[in-house]
């Protein structure tokens, strides 16, 4: 009986993972081997938070993405350090910051095709630093919209934001 339950639990997970990678192009599958989560763009840069943050911010603004909010998550979390005790910042991250940004053009294009994909608006980039390296994290809109009629627009948006980030870090 336990074997049957195990098989029944395993099969849906196998189908889920097979379905997840089924629509990913072969080149992207190869690139995913180095990432821990294919749904998230994760780029590490050998530079401090202030420099990386400034370059990414400027690159977004120069490419028609407007940063509308800049939460300093590390600062907000540090207010709870005493209350959380040893559970606070176990990874010893130096800094956590985020940029909430938008492209009105992409938001309009997306809403014309599939208004439910407005859940992607505004977009967000999160950065964290540790030991003079900074990670840039971005949830991939093309993955979120994989089953939407707006997939092509979401993928175009994803590629453009990643291109914008790559421009920013090429100047470091």
Structure confidence at residue 117 (pLDDT): 95
In order of their start, the domains of the chain are 25-170 (3.30.310.70)
Confidence of residue 121 (pLDDT cuts 50, 70, 90): very high
Q: What is the pLDDT of residues 76-103, one digit of tens each?
A: 999 999 999 999 999 999 999 999 999 9
Mean of pLDDT values over 37-64? 96
HEC string for the chain: CHHHHHHHHHHHHHHHHHHHHHCCCHHHHHHHCCCCCCCEEEEEECCCHHHHHHHHHHHHHHCCCEEEECCCHHHHHHCCHHHHHHHCCCCCCCEEEEEEEECHHHHHHHHHHCHHHHHHCCEEEEEEEECCEEEEEEECHHHHCCCCCCHHHHHHHHHHHHHHHHHHHHCC
Residue 125 has pLDDT above 50, yes or no: yes
Mean of pLDDT values over 117-137? 96
Share of the chain above pLDDT 90, in %: 77
Average of per-residue pLDDT values in the chain: 85
């Amino acid at each position: 009986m336990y074997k049957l339950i195990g098989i029944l639990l395993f099969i849906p997970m196998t189908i889920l993972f097979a379905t997840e990678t089924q629509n990913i192009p072969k080149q992207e599958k190869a690139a995913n081997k180095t990432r821990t989560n294919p749904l998230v763009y994760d780029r590490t840069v050998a530079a401090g938070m202030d420099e990386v943050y400034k370059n990414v911010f400027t690159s977004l603004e120069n490419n028609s993405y407007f940063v509308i909010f800049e939460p300093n998550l590390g600062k907000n979390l540090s207010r709870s350090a005493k209350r959380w005790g040893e559970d606070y910042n176990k990874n010893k991250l130096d800094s956590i910051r985020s940029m909430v940004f938008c492209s009105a053009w992409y938001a309009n294009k997306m809403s014309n095709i599939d208004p439910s994909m407005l859940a992607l608006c505004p977009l967000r980039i999160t950065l964290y630093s540790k030991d003079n390296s900074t990670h840039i994290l971005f949830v991939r809109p093309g993955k979120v919209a994989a089953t939407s009629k707006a997939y092509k627009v979401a993928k175009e948006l994803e590629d453009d934001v990643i291109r914008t980030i790559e421009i920013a870090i090429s100047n470091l």
